Amino acid sequence: MSMAKVEDYYSILQVSPHAPITDIKAAFRRLARLYHPDLNPDDPESAEKFKHISQAYETLSDPNKRRRYDRELRFRSNHKVSKKNDESGKKSKSAQDYYSRGINKSQRKDFQGAIENYTKAIEIDANFVDAYLKRCEMRYKLGDNKGVLEDCSQVLRIDPSIAKAHYYQGRARYRLGYGQSAIDSYTQALHQDCNYAQAYYYRALAYQEQKNATAALEDLHVAAKLFYDQGNLSAYRLTKKTIQDSTPGIWKPGQLSGNFNRLWQNSALVLITYLFNPGGGLLPAFSSLEKKEALEVGIIYGIIADLMFVCSIYVNWKNWSNEDFPFVALCFVGIIPFMILIISSHLIRFFSNSPGNINTDVFIAGTTLFPLGLLAWIMGFISLSWNVFVLPFIIFGCSYTILTLYIGCTQVLNLGEAKAAFVTPLILLTSIFLSYLAFIPVLH
């Protein structure tokens, strides 16, 4: 009995069998723009192709349907191969087969072999966009800029909305010395995909070559934010270094405000990353910063925590004393825990040979005290007679502070868990005790 034919949905969408859902969605959108019935009236062939594309997308975009389809496809494929081998001893290859071989060879750094397989896939299917893009990528790595431009032209002929083709066109043009043409290509890529961080970064480099420093810095700042949001921390650090190298100690109009914007942006990004998940966010937040930036963020958090502490005392000062409010003295008291944490972190690194520097110490101190300062600020606006409401805030704030310091010791300072469990309460108790001793004279 003959077996029913199973359509190769991966070939229909022109993606690899291992393609992530994002690639599948992008392929569907690209092909739908080509064959949608509304765009091809009175064209039954396009309508039929769109029907197959929709069926393929419906299956491959659903994880459960895709798993069942993959199992069936493998079973049918193995049966078909076995039958053909029995009959002729030969195995025919489709465009998708050559494309998959090309992927495997590119992963093994066999770029020339990958190009040969992508070329065979294109010979079988002249509209295989992903094969063109992969061949383009391999050619770029081998320095074949003219080949890159040829592949980009073919892709854009098939679908002018593919951002990656515009991007590689810009990379090749830049290498060939066509700076303005490269900028035009990057701009086209960004028109198609406004979150294309690499396009912003390399357009900035092209702007720099043309001495357009303002446009270059704008693109670099956008690229840095996108890299950070996308979790590409190595590219984020590279972009931040490029920004710093672009302005080596020369004050320019607007640079001071730009530095303040960068400082507050870093502080906000770190806060979002670690505050609600110190266990999984503190180390990535620290790793995303340059040494100087970690120092700046730690100082900002320390100052804010100190001011929140002083604000809390100010609200209830009249309940404690009839004297004038000692703002300067209380600021000094509030900064004591910050300094003790910095000194403690330094001593821990010194005696345990842990990596880091003063920037690390300040960062840990600032991120540890910020939740405690926030707790003090909230409690300042809660009537002390409402003890039932005060106690949960105290427990939550203290627990969060202990957890943050513990994570800082284990992940940032690479201290062992046993040592961290010992030094964390010791440091905090020392900070509280010394701050209390300093606060008593101010109160009286």
Q: Quick: pLDDT tens for 91-124.
A: 456 888 888 888 888 888 888 999 999 999 898 8
Would the pLDDT of 252 be above 50? no
- 38 shares its domain with 127: no
Residue 287 inside a domain? The answer is yes
Angle CA(84)–CA(89)–CA(93) in degrees, nearest 5?
60
Would the pLDDT of 412 be above 80? yes
Instruction: State mean pLDDT over 351-376.
Output: 84
- 35 shares its domain with 137: no
Angle CA(44)–CA(48)–CA(49) in degrees, nearest 5?
120
- 150 shares its domain with 219: yes
Sign (positive or negative) of CA dihedral 60, 64, 67, 71: negative
Residue 264 inside a domain? The answer is no
Would the pLDDT of 75 be above 50? yes
The token pair at 273 is 């990353």
The token pair at 228 is 């950070």
Write down which residue in 199, 225, 246 finishes a domain: 246
The answer to whether residues 315 and 381 touch, using CB atoms and an 8 Å cutoff, is: yes
- 143 shares its domain with 79: no
- 75 shares its domain with 118: no
The token pair at 304 is 């804010």
- 23 shares its domain with 119: no
CATH number of the domain bearing residue 40: 1.10.287.110
- 215 shares its domain with 177: yes
| Number of folded domains that form the chain | 3
Using CA atoms, how far apart are residues 198 and 123, in angstroms rounded to an integer?
A: 30
Specify burial of residue 10 (Cβ count, 10 A radius: 0-12, 13-18, 19+).
Answer: buried
pLDDT band at 250 (very low <50, low <70, confident <90, very high): very low
- 319 shares its domain with 365: yes
Residue 270 inside a domain? The answer is no
Using CA atoms, how far apart are residues 10 and 29, in angstroms rounded to an integer?
A: 14
Expressed as residue numbers, the domain containing 420 is: 278-443
- Maximum distance among all Cα pairs of the chain, rounded to whole angstroms: 103
- 48 shares its domain with 162: no
Residue 103 inside a domain? The answer is no
42 backbone dihedrals φ, ψ, rounded to 5°? 60, 30
- 76 shares its domain with 116: no
- 76 shares its domain with 157: no
Name the DSSP letter for residue 61: T
Give residue for tokens 């990057």.
Answer: 186
CA atoms within 13 A on the CB side of 52: 16
Residue 77 inside a domain? The answer is yes
Full-model pTM:
0.47
Write down which residue in 246, 264, 291 finishes a domain: 246
Of the candidates 134, 140, 216, the residue with the CA atom closest to the CA atom of residue 172: 140
